Amino acid sequence: MLVKLFVGNLPWSVGDAELGAIFEPHGEVQSARVINDRDTGRSRGFGFVEIETNNVAAVIRATDGLEVGGRNLRVNEAEDKPRSAPRGNFGRRY
């Protein structure tokens, strides 16, 4: 089963490859992405990992609180961001 995990409290030095390597022992990592600030390009300190696993709870137990670069990771199942309703008239005339 493919699961998307939220990983918070990442050290600024961790990139996509390092994030994926943290989760490799726990399943087949499909993608790992650290979110960067669009203006500065610096890490925002969190990311997402898509991992193939049959036991999500075990992966979270093994990685939540894991110390990486002097920081304890916060890991939980990612929640889909609700799409907001469109606002404005988008050029329509009333």
At 5, which helix (H) or strand (E)? strand 2-8
Round to whole Å and give the CA distance between 2 and 20.
Answer: 15
How large a percentage of the chain has pLDDT more than 90? Answer: 83
Neighbours of 31 (CB within 10 A): 13
Question: Phi/psi of residue 71, each to 5°?
Answer: -125, 145
Q: What confidence tier does 17 reach under pLDDT thresholds 50, 70, 90? A: very high
The domains of the chain are located at 2-77
Specify the pLDDT at position 45. Answer: 97
What tokens does 34 get? 């650290």
pTM summary value: 0.84
Is residue 90 scored above 70 in pLDDT?
no
Strands 74-77 vs 2-8: parallel, antiparallel or unpaired: antiparallel
CATH number of 2-77: 3.30.70.330
- Mark out the alpha helices in the chain (DSSP H runs): 16-23, 56-63
pLDDT in tens, 43-55: 999 999 999 999 9
Q: What is the mean pLDDT of residues 25-35?
A: 98
Could you read off the pLDDT of 56-72 as tens digits, one per residue? 999 999 999 999 999 99
